[in-house]
């Protein structure tokens, strides 16, 4: 009798693990687009950082990302059971915040384009800037992680709570390792280039020079891609969850392919600019009051 119970238990565990493996694969495919945006955004966070501080920053953000997943997975499970109505509004707030950050970044660059160059930053300024970068990256990761977790939750909606938990934990852990492993590799590519340049082989040295020449352009491209990703992800969340916008896009047949991406980009940009127009004057007003 004991052996029969043991075999039944093992059979149940095997069935659950099969479901977890299958649904993790499906969820990974569904979340691939957001993960691509996550990669661009996080690689962009270390642009302009000294070479010796790149990996410590990536590691700090990766640890923050793990904490985000530890918070988000149980929270998503609880919300799906007790307050499913809150999931969409929370996602939309996160999407709007991404749009705001993207628009604020563009406005900051445009408004400071013709300003005089400041003095070289002191060590304390660099530490403050590094902490700000880490906090900003972890905050952005929280929003993107929330979308990844919600997408994964949607895929496993009809399964047991155990399967849901295991799938979302696997997605959260796997995506964090993948994204930050790739980011760490990207930011150290210039070191690989310098290493190749020290080799005796002419081909290796040529490859090293090519990497060194290419990486500044690649990082600029990532910076642009990271900003666009904020609008695409944020605009996509709003377009998908705001009923009237979603129906309008469906009616105009703009809900697929390049049309959908363009619509998400425009919606994200307009949302971000609108929030900036509302919030930034208020922030400046409070800043002036505190200064006086």
Mean pLDDT of the chain: 76
Band of pLDDT at residue 10, cut at 50, 70 and 90: very low
The pLDDT score that the predictor gives to residue 266 is: 92
Note the pLDDT tens digit of each residue in 196-216: 888 888 888 899 999 888 888
Task: Compare 118 and 245 and report the one with higher pLDDT.
Answer: 245
pLDDT at 226 over 60: yes
Note the pLDDT tens digit of each residue in 50-82: 667 778 888 888 899 899 999 998 988 888 888
CA nearest 22: which of 146, 148, 171, 150?
A: 171
- Tokens 């800037």 — which residue? 129
Note the pLDDT tens digit of each residue in 137-149: 888 888 878 877 8
Note the pLDDT tens digit of each residue in 229-243: 888 888 888 888 888
Band of pLDDT at residue 124, cut at 50, 70 and 90: low
Of 23-32, 189-198, 250-259, 273-282, which range is least confident? 23-32
Band of pLDDT at residue 90, cut at 50, 70 and 90: confident
The pLDDT score that the predictor gives to residue 50 is: 65
Alpha carbon distance 239, 2 (integer Å): 55
Q: What percent of the chain has pLDDT over 90?
A: 6
The pLDDT score that the predictor gives to residue 16 is: 46
- Output the DSSP codes for the chain: -HHHHHHHHHHHHHHHHHHHHHHHHHHHHHTHHHHHHHHHHHHHTTTT--HHHHHHHHHHHHHHHHHHHHHHHHHHHHHHHH-GGGHHHHHHHHHHHHHHHHHHHHHHHHHTTTSPPPPPPPHHHHHHHHHHHHHHHHHHHHHHHHHHHHHHHHHTTTS-HHHHHHHHHHHHHHHHHHHHHHHHHHHTHHHHHHHHHTSS-HHHHHHHHHHHHHHHHHHHHHHHHHHHHHHHHHHHHHHHHSHHHHHHHHHTT-SSHHHHHHHHHHHHHHHHHHHHHHHHHHHHHHHHHHH-
Contact 39, 179 (CB under 8 A): yes
Contact 192, 211 (CB under 8 A): yes
Backbone angles phi, psi at 114, to 5 degrees: -100, 10
Query: How far from each other are the two terminal CA atoms of the chain, in whole angstroms?
Result: 81
Which of 25-34, 70-79, 131-140, 278-287 has the largest mean confidence? 70-79
Token pair listed for 230: 């904020």
């Amino acid at each position: 009798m004991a052996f029969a119970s043991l075999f039944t238990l093992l059979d149940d565990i095997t069935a659950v693990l099969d479901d977890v493996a299958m649904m993790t694969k499906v969820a990974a495919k569904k979340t691939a687009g957001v993960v691509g945006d996550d990669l661009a955004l996080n690689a962009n966070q270390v642009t302009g950082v000294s070479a010796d501080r790149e990996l410590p920053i990536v590691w700090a953000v990766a640890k923050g990302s793990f904490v985000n997943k530890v918070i988000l997975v149980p929270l998503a499970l609880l919300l799906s059971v007790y307050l499913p109505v809150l999931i969409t509004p929370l996602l939309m707030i996160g999407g709007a915040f991404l749009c705001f950050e993207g628009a604020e970044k563009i406005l900051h660059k445009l408004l400071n384009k013709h300003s005089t160059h400041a003095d070289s930053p002191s060590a304390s300024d660099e530490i403050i800037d590094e902490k700000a970068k880490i906090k900003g990256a972890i905050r952005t990761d929280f929003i993107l992680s929330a979308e990844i977790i919600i997408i994964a939750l949607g895929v496993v909606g009809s399964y047991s709570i155990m399967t849901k938990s295991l799938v979302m934990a696997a997605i959260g852990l796997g995506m964090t390792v993948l994204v930050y492993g790739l980011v760490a590799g990207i930011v150290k590519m210039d070191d690989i280039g310098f290493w190749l340049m020290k080799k005796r082989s002419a081909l290796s040295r040529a490859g090293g020079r090519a990497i060194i020449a290419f990486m500044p352009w690649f990082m600029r491209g990532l910076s642009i891609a990271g900003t666009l990703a904020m609008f695409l992800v944020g605009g996509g969340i709003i377009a998908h969850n705001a009923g009237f916008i979603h129906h309008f896009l469906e009616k105009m047949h703009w809900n697929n392919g390049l049309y959908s991406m363009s619509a998400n980009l425009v919606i994200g940009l307009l949302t971000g600019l609108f929030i900036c127009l509302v919030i930034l004057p208020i922030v400046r007003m409070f800043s002036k009051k505190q200064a006086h």
